[in-house]
Every structure is written in structure tokens, then in C-alpha cells.
Amino acid sequence: MIEYKNVCKSYGKKKIVKNINLKINDGEFVVLIGPSGCGKTTTLKMLNRLIEMDSGDIYIDGKNIKDFNPVKLRSNIGYVIQQIGLFPNMTVEENICVVPSLLKWDKEKCRQRAKELMALVNMPYEEYAKKYPNEMSGGQQQRIGVLRALAAEPPVILMDEPFGALDPITRDSLQDEVKAIQKKFGKTVIFVTHDMDEALKMADTIVFMNDGQILQADTPEEILRAPANDTVREFLGKHIQNFNQSQMICSDLMKKKVIKVTEDKKTLECVSIMSRYDIDSLIISDDDNRFKGVVTIETVNQRGKAGNSIKNLITTDVPTVSPKSSAKEAFDMLTERHADYVVVLDDDRKVVGIITKTSMSKALASVVWGDNE
């Protein structure tokens, strides 16, 4: 476990990190995010003592990092930065094995480690090991930078906006690869970014910082569901809207007041009800409110007879969903089947509501623009 306790850092009179407290579990992928100048990179670099804290303590597995020789400390913490920092006069294999070589690993062990790691990112050893950085693309170079950080098998990896300079496709691919490697080896990763899309994709825990303080540390889902304050909410922006829409279920969209009748109702009575409420169909249920189907005004006009019940006019070709079905499922039924509404049934097939295009539009509007009532 990594633990920050009352950690502070200033440059001159400007306080960059203000008394932060944070616990990071083994094997956790933690993303530090916030606006420029919020203190996230300083917080990262204090862990490997590239920046020394002014006060407070940082512990790794219960040991204070102040008690470590900085060089020895860094040999047990992988570090990846945006600028990559590969040595141009070294081959790929030599770059990967910089730290293992400093730790006096023998050449064969280094070679095997390079080969093993390169296979993880689909860069065959035989093809790439002897190449130099200038012979590779930016994405390939950054992959080597990541592998170099992993080479000596450190339990902790620090990554400071490592993919910021890459094109979107390469960036997306590298995000997937890093997350897969982190899970495979159970590494603790602390990752700095200003990109909320990246944070939501990568993190087990997102730590939102502003003005040198931690405003919220939580799972991506919880941060989207319950931002700590307006600063976090504004930074999340569209992501809250998208999350809320993706989480909506049919019970959020349905109209609970449903005009329905039992199957023993007479034809003329049903026509009267449809006329009174200006609707062109009725939902039919039994005496226990269990769904039987619908009767449309068109069917009544074609086949209905005065004085007869509507029992033989009922159609069951009606889209239905459960209250817990996704909003998307109801939307697809409304659009693909050109339905006027979707009937919402509980587990006992009792009618609990209907979803119309209007009720869906109102519910989605409340998510996008807020409830104006």
C-alpha cells in the first residue's frame, strides 16, 4: 500500500500541494486528474522523490520513503513520461534493460526479460530488439518506454501523461495494452492525465485535484453519479450527461397512469373511452391487472360488433419491457417497430406503465437540461 499523510509542497510563496492524504491499494490503477497547475504531477513526483516534499510523509508498504536512498527508491518504481526519453544511441533491447543492467542482471536474463515484454505489445524480439529509437514510430517508442518501466519488475509504476503526444488511434491502443499489462502483473499504477475520457477508461480510482487539494477520490462510476462539488461537476461536463443517459432504465421513462380495461368490456364502451381520452388503442388486462394485449380503434372499426365484448379483438403483437430494461431497449422498440408505445410489465406480467416517444423525450430532456419544474 502507498499512503500520503499530510503532504505539502510549495514553490516560493505558492502552495502547490496542500496537506493531501491519500491511500492507494496494491494492484490499484489510480488516475490523478484536474486542471493545469492543480498539483497532480507534483504529487506523482514526490513519490519517487524527483520532487522533495516540504512536510508530511509518504509510505510504501509501511516504510517512509524519506528513509530510502533516492536512487535505490527509484530503481523499485517504474517511471513513464510523455517525452519518452529513450536513449538514442541504444537499441530497443538496451533501452528496455537499462535498470536491470544497473541492478547487475546477467545478459541472458536481460535478453529474456526484453523478449517477454516485447511479446506483450506485439513487437517481436527478432524484428525490433536491435533497432534504434529513430527507426520506430512515436507509438512504438512509447511502448518501449512503458516496457522499460516494467523491466526490473517494480511493484509500482508512475506514468505522467504518457500518451499526450500520440494520435488518437495509437493512444487508444496503448491505453488498452497498458491496462491489460497492469492487470496481468498486478502492478500498482499512478497515472497523471488531464483527459477525462482517458481517466474513465483506465482508472480503478480517480483522484480529482484542484488548487493543490484532493476534492474527490472515488471510482469512475461514483464520481459520475455523485460529483463532490460544482468544480468536479463542471470538469466532468458531458460525461455526467452521457453517464446518466446510459444508466436510465424504463422505470425512469414510463408513464404510470395507464388507460386500460378488462377483456369483458363491450365494444361501444371501449370506443367511448378511446374517444374521451383521445387515444386510438386500449391496453387490456385481466382482473388481476395482468397484461392480455391491446385493442385498437382500427380493429374495432373493422371487426367489432355492438354488444359484443372485445375479447376476440385483442392483439398480443405489442412491444413490452420490464421496469429494469434499459432505456435504449425501449427506444429501439419504439423506432424499429414504429410503435406508438411500449408496455412496461413487472415480473408477474402486471401492467405498471407505458413508454411513449413523448415520455421518453421528457425524461431525456431532464437529464440534458435539468428538471425545470
- Provide the CATH number for the domain formed by 251-369 in this structure: 3.10.580.10
CB neighbour list of residue 279: distance below 8 Å, 6 or more residues apart: 259
pLDDT at 298 over 70: yes
pLDDT digits (tens, 9 = 90+) for 31-80: 999 988 899 999 999 999 999 999 999 999 999 999 999 988 988 898 88
Architecture of domain 2-247: 3-Layer(aba) Sandwich (3.40)
Of 184, 180, 187, the residue nearest 158 (C-alpha): 187
pLDDT band of residue 243 (cuts 50, 70, 90) is: low
**Which amino acid belongs to residue 291?**
F
Give the best-scoring range by mean pLDDT among 171-180, 209-218, 221-230, 254-263.
Answer: 209-218
Check if the beta carbon of residue 283 is closer than 8 Å to that of residue 294.
yes
pLDDT at 238 over 80: no
Check if the beta carbon of residue 250 is closer than 8 Å to that of residue 355.
yes
Check if the beta carbon of residue 100 is closer than 8 Å to that of residue 152.
yes
pLDDT at 183 over 60: yes
What pLDDT is stored for residue 362 in this prediction?
65
The mean pLDDT value for 323-329 works out to 85
Helix (H) or strand (E) holding 47: helix 40-47
pLDDT digits (tens, 9 = 90+) for 115-124: 988 988 888 9
| Mean per-residue pLDDT of the chain | 87
Where do the domains of the chain lie? 2-247, 251-369
Tell me the Cα Rg of the chain. Answer: 30
CB neighbour list of residue 254: distance below 8 Å, 6 or more residues apart: 323, 344, 352, 353, 354, 355, 359
CA separation for the pair 207, 34 (Å, rounded): 8
Of 64, 28, 33, 62, the residue nearest 47 (C-alpha): 64
CA separation for the pair 164, 224 (Å, rounded): 23
CA separation for the pair 229, 216 (Å, rounded): 9
CA separation for the pair 195, 202 (Å, rounded): 11
pLDDT band of residue 365 (cuts 50, 70, 90) is: low
The mean pLDDT value for 136-156 works out to 87
